[in-house]
């Protein structure tokens, strides 16, 4: 796991140095650079595989002497299998990120079709004077690009591109409105104007500063569910879990996992315990002295049942106020998901324990039908569209009603593509909403959260449920093996009931919640004044109503208050250049 960046145009030593500094937190183990004519590539390394020999960039020469250079941020889990199939190839390292270069030389742009993993890859092909950028199908690893004053630039994080050298910091109002209503943004445009996301699964070719070709590798299999019996599905699931979790444990450094006590992380714990001789190291966050459910008791019992080493991490009100500005700094592509808070501290704890790789359960709900909104969307009578109402709807906070009408455009488009796009024919209504969530909420909220919070501490996050082998199996399951009798993730629950009865997978579970409403209420009057006074808030909200919102932040009002608070702090850091060194109150009070 690393940071990558580059420029095709007018690269200078100052540009190379800027990229290396901006992405140093993603790669604390080393830096590499490559320059060839009008192209410069920069790589900051978090060493996971081939610790001594895996430095990047990787460079090969064609028979005519023209160089091809590659930098990558990611893990290629089928690295051993690729090397076995490429016995006639001379490799310079044991790194899992070297085979993609040789695959490109052999297959051209089709090289990504051979990769099993999470990745953001950049290739400079000097013979054709073209830059190739590719991103994994689910968008686990981020990649951003922009046309700048100096040329076509790309980076693992948009903050590396929004500088005086490249682009001035400017807000995209449409993406802001979407952020306030959804807590994340959809599509390839982001909140910082001029910077675009490479879409999940996309490969682009850049020549003379312009994108001349686009390709897309689908994350999900085509068509509808495939027939399979319950017994065969459970047997196949066991095989897929064994294969997928085993591949995601390939590492030359110590690894652990995040354990929430829910179905997905419990399954990871059960399978990792099966595959490892030594005790699994599991990290769980909790919130003492609040009204929200604390997962630590249940997680502790599961860890004890399987002999795992269990480390508990407390996240309290003081942490909330002190870490939010730094969290907002690293969430440069903003997603106001309150799960960023404990994830930050879990990653900090993992790194302090010497852990550089963590497995997490993201993707299980989306692929196996875990959310309540899926059950509502597939009702035979009166089905409900997802994301019908925005966070701010009905609270009299936004200034204009028009703003409440336009924020759904990206989400609606994602729904249309899920139904009518390639592979959509024959899908069930459940599969439609799963595909919609996977292209929006998963890619632009959950995976951004995992990437930024872990990489801020030099920790790699791996998500086995989003492995292509797992995805092909899970998405094609019949609806009844996903949702039955009001319960989602049915086949996962049945597997877990057999593999780890202590998990009690059929008992009523509470959703993961962070007590942000309680913490905001404790400082409601003071905080309401500060947030309402921000120019970025006054541009879209009624200040008096914002103050009222913070005075009683419960239920939907609490979620809205948290979203406005996050946005105000994010705006201070990324648009107003306020250093995130102080606590939340000092950052908001800064002129």
Q: What is the pLDDT of residue 14?
A: 95
Each residue's pLDDT tens digit, 105-125: 999 999 999 999 999 999 999
Q: Are 75 and 151 part of one and the same domain? A: yes
Strand bridging mode 309-314 / 281-286: parallel
Q: Give the whole-number percent of the chain exceeding pLDDT 70.
A: 97
Confidence check: pLDDT of 90 > 90: yes
Band (pLDDT 50/70/90 cuts) for residue 319 is very high
The confidence score (pLDDT) of residue 97 equals 97
Phi/psi at 148 (5° precision) = -120, 180
In a domain, 108, yes or no: yes
Where is the domain boundary, 187, 216, 245? Answer: 216
51 and 194 in a single domain? The answer is yes
Verify that 578 and 462 share a domain, yes or no: no
pLDDT value at position 512? 66
> What pLDDT score was predicted for residue 402?
56
Residues 310 and 187 reside in one and the same domain:
no
Instruction: Report the percentage of the chain scoring pLDDT > 90.
Output: 88
| pLDDT tens digits for range 570-580 | 999 999 999 99
Report the CATH number at residue 28.
Answer: 3.60.20.10
**Tell me, what's the pLDDT at 245?**
98
Statement to judge: residues 260 and 317 lie in one domain: yes
Whether residue 122 sits in one domain with residue 258: no
484: containing domain: 230-377+440-503
Whether 39 and 78 map to the same domain: the answer is: yes
Band (pLDDT 50/70/90 cuts) for residue 401 is low
| Residue where a domain terminates, one of 189, 216, 243 | 216
| 191 and 43 together in one domain | yes
Do 235 and 295 have their domain in common?
yes
So what's the pLDDT on residue 570?
98
CA distance 89 to 92: 10
* Residue 406 placed within a domain: no
Residue 435 domain flag = no
How many separate domains does the chain show? Answer: 3
Q: CA dist 387 to 185, 243, 374, 565, Å?
A: 13, 35, 11, 21
Non-local CB neighbours of 563 within 8 Å, separated by 6+ positions? 179, 180, 183, 336, 391, 392
- 426 inside domain: no
Residues 373 and 521 in one domain: no
Is residue 532 domain-resident?
yes
- pLDDT value at 366 more than 90: yes
Q: Which two tokens stand for residue 275?
A: 């595959």
- From 190, 216, 242, give the residue that closes a domain: 216
b/e 52-77 (16+ beta carbons within 10 angstroms → b)? eebbbbbbbeeeeeebbbbbbbbbbb
- Cis omega (within 30 of 0) for bond into 57: yes
226 pLDDT band, cuts 50/70/90, is very high
What pLDDT is recorded for position 379?
75
513 — pLDDT class (breaks 50, 70, 90): confident
What pLDDT, in 10s, does the model give residues 409-467?
999 899 888 888 777 788 999 999 999 999 999 999 999 999 999 999 999 999 999 99
Tell me whether residue 236 is in a domain.
yes
pLDDT recorded at residue 555: 86
Examine the domain organization and report whether 98 and 235 are in the same domain: no
For the four alpha carbons of 31, 45, 253 and 282, in that order, the dihedral sign comes to: positive
**Any domain includes 74:** yes
**190 and 339, same structural domain?**
no
In the predicted model, is pLDDT for residue 335 greater than 60? Answer: yes
pLDDT of residue 380: 61
Give domain status of residue 415, yes or no.
Answer: no
**CATH code where residue 496 lies:** 3.40.50.620
Q: Can you tell me the mean pLDDT for 61-77?
A: 96
* Per-residue model confidence (pLDDT) at position 421: 75
Q: Distance (Å, rounded) from C-alpha 123 to C-alpha 371?
A: 38
| Distance of alpha carbon 480 from the chain centroid | 28
- Dist CA 588 CA 568 (whole Å): 7
């Amino acid at each position: 796991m690393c940071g990558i960046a580059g420029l095709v145009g007018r690269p200078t030593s100052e540009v190379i140095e800027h990229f290396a500094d901006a992405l140093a937190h993603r790669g604390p183990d080393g830096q590499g650079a490559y320059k060839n004519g009008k192209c410069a590539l920069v790589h900051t390394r978090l060493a996971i595989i081939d610790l001594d020999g895996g430095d990047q960039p990787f460079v090969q020469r064609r028979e005519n002497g023209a160089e091809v250079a590659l930098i990558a941020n990611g893990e290629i889990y089928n690295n051993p299998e690729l090397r076995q199939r490429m016995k006639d190839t001379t490799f310079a390292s044991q790194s899992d990120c070297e085979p993609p270069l040789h695959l490109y030389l052999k297959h051209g742009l089709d090289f990504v079709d051979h990769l099993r993993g999470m990745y953001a890859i950049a290739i400079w092909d000097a013979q054709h004077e073209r830059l190739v950028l590719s991103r994994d199908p689910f968008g686990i690893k981020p990649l951003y690009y922009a046309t700048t004053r100096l040329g076509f630039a790309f980076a693992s994080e948009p903050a590396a591109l929004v500088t005086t050298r490249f682009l001035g910091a400017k807000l995209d109002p449409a993406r802001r409105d979407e952020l306030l209503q959804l807590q994340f943004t959809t599509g390839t445009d982001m909140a910082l104007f001029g910077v675009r996301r490479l879409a999940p699964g996309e490969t682009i070719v850049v020549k003379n500063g312009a994108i001349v070709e686009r390709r897309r590798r689908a994350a999900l299999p085509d068509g509808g569910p495939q027939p399979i019996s319950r017994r065969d599905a459970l047997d196949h699931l066991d095989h897929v879990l064994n294969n997928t979790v085993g591949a995601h444990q390939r590492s030359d450094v110590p690894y652990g996992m995040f354990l929430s006590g829910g179905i997905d992380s419990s399954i990871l714990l059960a399978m990792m315990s099966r595959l490892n001789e030594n005790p699994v190291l599991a990290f769980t966050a909790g919130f003492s002295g609040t009204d929200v459910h604390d997962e630590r008791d249940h997680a502790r019992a599961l860890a004890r049942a399987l002999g795992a080493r269990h480390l508990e991490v407390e996240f309290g009100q003081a942490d909330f106020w002190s870490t939010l500005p730094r969290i907002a700094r690293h969430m440069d592509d903003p997603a106001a998901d309150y799960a960023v808070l404990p994830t930050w501290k879990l990653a900090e704890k993992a790194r302090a324990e010497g852990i550089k790789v963590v497995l997490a359960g993201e993707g299980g709900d989306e692929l196996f039908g875990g959310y309540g909104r899926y059950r509502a969307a597939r009702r035979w009578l009166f089905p409900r569209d997802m994301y019908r109402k925005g966070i701010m709807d009905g609270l009299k906070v936004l200034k204009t009603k028009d703003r409440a009408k336009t924020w759904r455009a990206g989400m609606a488009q994602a729904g249309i593509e899920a139904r009518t796009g390639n592979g959509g024919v024959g899908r069930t209504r459940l599969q439609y909403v799963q595909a919609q969530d996977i292209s929006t909420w998963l890619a632009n909220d959950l995976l951004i959260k995992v990437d930024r919070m872990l990489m801020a501490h030099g920790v790699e996050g791996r998500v086995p449920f989003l492995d292509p082998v797992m995805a092909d199996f899970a998405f094609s399951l019949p609806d009844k093996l996903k949702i039955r009798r009001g319960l989602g993730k049915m086949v996962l629950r049945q597997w877990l009931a057999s593999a780890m009865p202590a998990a009690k997978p059929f008992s009523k579970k509470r959703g993961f919640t962070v007590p942000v409403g309680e913490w905001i209420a404790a400082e409601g009057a003071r905080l309401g004044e500060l947030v309402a006074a921000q120019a970025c808030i006054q541009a879209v909200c009624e200040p008096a109503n914002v103050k009222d919102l913070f005075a009683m932040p419960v239920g939907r009002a609490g979620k809205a208050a948290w979203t406005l608070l996050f946005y105000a702090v994010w705006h201070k850091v990324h648009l107003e250049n306020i250093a995130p060194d102080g606590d939340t109150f000092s950052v908001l009070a800064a002129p």
